[in-house]
Structure 1
Amino acid sequence: MTSLTSSAHPLERAPRESFWTRIASDIAESISRGTYPPGERLPSEHALAELFGVNRHTIRKSLASLSSQGLVRVAQGSGTYVEEFAVDLMLAKRTRHHQSLSQAGLRGGLQVLTTRTQRAAVAQASALKVALRSKLLCLQVLGEAQGQPLHVSERYFPLPRFAGLDAIVGETGSITAAFATLGVADYTRQESRITAQMPDATIAAHLRQPVSRPILQVKSVNVDTAGLPIEFATTWFAGDRVKLTVTHDD
Structure 2
Amino acid sequence: MTSQHKNISMAMFIADEIQREIERGVYSDGKRLPSEASMCHRFYTNRYTIRQAMDRLVNIGLVRSRKGVGYFVNERPLDLCYTITPFTRFSTMIENGGLKPSAMIISQEKRLPSEKVQEALHVTQNDEVYRFEILRFADDTPLAWNETWLPAKMFEGLPQYMTSFVSLYDILKKHYHVRPKRINSTFQAVVPTVNEATYLQISPSTPLLQIESIVKDEIAGRMEYTKAKYRGDLCQVTSEL
- Equivalent-residue separation in structure 1 for 2:188 and 2:76 (angstroms): 23
Corresponding position: 1:127 with 2:127: no
Q: Which moved more, 1:144-153 or 1:181-190?
A: 181-190
How far residue 225 of structure 1 moved from its aligned partner, in angstroms, is 1.7
Query: Which consecutive residues of structure 2, in runs of 5 or more, have no partner in the other structure?
Result: 1-17, 33-46, 66-72
Corresponding position: 1:192 with 2:205: no
- Equivalent-residue separation in structure 2 for 1:29 and 1:207 (angstroms): 22
Does the 8 A contact of 2:57 with 2:63 survive in 1?
no
Alignment of 1:65-76 (within 5 A): 71-72=62-63
Does the 8 A contact of 2:30 with 2:74 survive in 1?
no
The match for 1:156 is 149
The match for 1:177 is 170
The match for 2:36 is none
Structure 1 residues 183 and 201: alpha-carbon distance in aligned structure 2, compared to 1, 3 A threshold: same
Q: Deviations over 1:179-218 (max 9, x none)?
A: 1123234210011111001111111112111111111111
- Equivalent-residue separation in structure 1 for 2:97 and 2:83 (angstroms): 10
- Equivalent-residue separation in structure 1 for 2:64 and 2:222 (angstroms): 38
Structure 1 residues 128 and 30: alpha-carbon distance in aligned structure 2, compared to 1, 3 A threshold: closer
Q: Deviations over 1:108-156 (max 9, x none)?
A: 1221111101101100000000112320011110110111011011111
**After TM superposition, which residue ranges in structure 1, 4 or more long, deviate above 4 angstroms?**
55-58, 62-68
- Matched residue of 1:85: which SS? coil
| TM-score in terms of structure 2 length | 0.71
The match for 2:102 is 109
The match for 1:97 is 90
- Equivalent-residue separation in structure 2 for 1:65 and 1:180 (angstroms): 41
Structure 1 residues 87 and 131: alpha-carbon distance in aligned structure 2, compared to 1, 3 A threshold: same
- Equivalent-residue separation in structure 2 for 1:152 and 1:138 (angstroms): 13
Corresponding position: 1:218 with 2:211: yes
- Equivalent-residue separation in structure 1 for 2:225 and 2:157 (angstroms): 17
How far residue 162 of structure 1 moved from its aligned partner, in angstroms, is 0.9
Instruction: Give the share of equivalent positions with the same residue, in percent.
Output: 19
